[in-house]
Amino acid sequence: MNAHDEVFIGGHWRPAAGTDDIKVINPANEQVIGSVPAGSAADVDAAVNAARSALPGWAATAPDRRAELLTALSVELAACQDQMASLITAEVGTTIGFSRRVQAGLPVNMTRLHAELVADFAFEERVGSSLVLLEPVGVVGAITPWNYPLHQIVCKVVPALAAGCTVVLKPAELAPLSAQMFTECVAAAGFPAGVFNLVTGTGAEAGEALVRHPGVDMISFTGSTSVGKHIGAVASAEVKRVALELGGKSANVILPGADLAQAVRVNVADVMRNAGQSCNALTRTLVHADDYEEAIRIAVEEIASYIPGDPADPDCRMGPVVSSTQRGKVRDHMRRGVAEGARLVVGGPEAPEGRDKGYYIRPTIFADVTTEMSIAREEIFGPVLSFMRYEDEGDALRIVNDSEYGLAGAVWAADEDRAITFARSMECGQVAVNGGAYNPLAPFGGYKQSGVGRELGKHGLMEFLQTKSLQL
């Protein structure tokens, strides 16, 4: 894999001030596939200065012109979609089929949709005798995760640019190569110099410098709740805007009378995708006592087809987790689940058969999980599904909402109105009703410790705008 040994600042690739680099490892075979600069605080400072210089001109650019450039970006992303998919499979371990459809494919569509959105967006509104203006927040520091590297870059960078903000991106150090390819697409699309800047590096140095920089007006971060709390504390001390998309422990509620087989199969697929490394994964499955053992039987039958393998193989349904550290964390959660009394139905912490090389995890199902167990309360971020029994709908709702997280959820019922009624009482930011499809223009974000703010669609665009009223 080719990689730049430079950062992208002010419209050009240039040597980083920092002399260290970051090795990128293929989690399927533990081989180094590239390296990127470990940008320093000096690199962040240069990038922020470039973004500030470009801000007045970009903020004054007409929305339809910004839309044209975003459309051009979507064309560039589409042109390298297959290459991007292969790259993300190599740096994250996502199966190639999922990479093509979601990791590389979905961002193309999202970029195009947001270009269309900004072209027709009302940045001015007359309210009585006042003219209300929506103006860009300013310079945005975007800090993105490794699990959906391009998707999360697009979720932040595209609406920020659409709003008229300029951006400094610090991608996850485990998956920075896709960020470099995205940057090449931005350059090819013709955005003015300094509007978008890329500094690769560690969270402790480059990320911290970006959060603390006085020239940054807003931080948009996706990652762990613990890091999000730190960013929020630093930003609040400077009265700096934040958007935080953090952890989750989402519940899938199957009400009596629902299509049990369909609900369980969709649930298993949801948790196994990307080897369980999804913040909104439905890792808690709530089933009525009468259907409980049958649901587990269906899940065991379904999970048997998720055999850990080479993610570059088109027939593979589950690859490795992203790193040795992540594998260790997932295994520790499994051991704690057993120690706390959960029933290990299938899987477990041992290495999958024939997969001693690479960061592979056995697809795992726990049963008889209760709300006080750590595997019911903590985000595992691996292919681990916990079954929980409930007695009635009131009991189910109590279990669902007994969580510090509130990112996503799902509910299944024979009657849609019944499902919607239940969904309204779930304390989370997004609920799939009877398998409702993902909508890239619907707001995404969480309640409670799952975050602050929303991404996608007009609600995501609004995060990067501030309001001014002219009294006429």
Going by C-alpha positions, the residue among 462, 467, 468 that lies closest to residue 243 is: 462
- The CA–CA distances, whole Å, from 161 to 11, 170, 178, 445 equal 15, 16, 19, 20
Among candidate residues 155, 165, 279, 316, the one labeled active-site is: 279
The CA distance from 25 to 364, in Å, is: 25
The CA distance from 271 to 346, in Å, is: 14
The CA distance from 51 to 406, in Å, is: 34
Q: Which uninterrupted H or E stretch holds 385?
A: strand 384-390
Tokens of 166: 């300029």
Residue 158 contacts residue 69 (beta carbons within 8 Å): no
**Residues sharing a CB contact under 8 Å with residue 75, sequence separation 6 or more, in sequence order:** 189
Q: Which uninterrupted H or E stretch holds 459?
A: helix 457-462
DSSP 326: H
Q: Are strands 166-170 and 196-198 parallel, antiparallel or unpaired?
A: parallel
Residue 222 contacts residue 170 (beta carbons within 8 Å): no
The CA distance from 228 to 153, in Å, is: 17
The CA distance from 50 to 42, in Å, is: 12
State yes or no: is 279 an active-site residue: yes
Q: Are strands 284-288 and 364-367 parallel, antiparallel or unpaired?
A: unpaired
Among candidate residues 76, 205, 245, 379, the one labeled active-site is: 245
State yes or no: is 185 an active-site residue: no
The CA distance from 377 to 206, in Å, is: 31
The CA distance from 295 to 297, in Å, is: 5
Ramachandran quadrant class, 468 (left: phi over 0; alpha: psi -120 to 50; beta: rest): beta
Residues designated catalytic: 245, 279
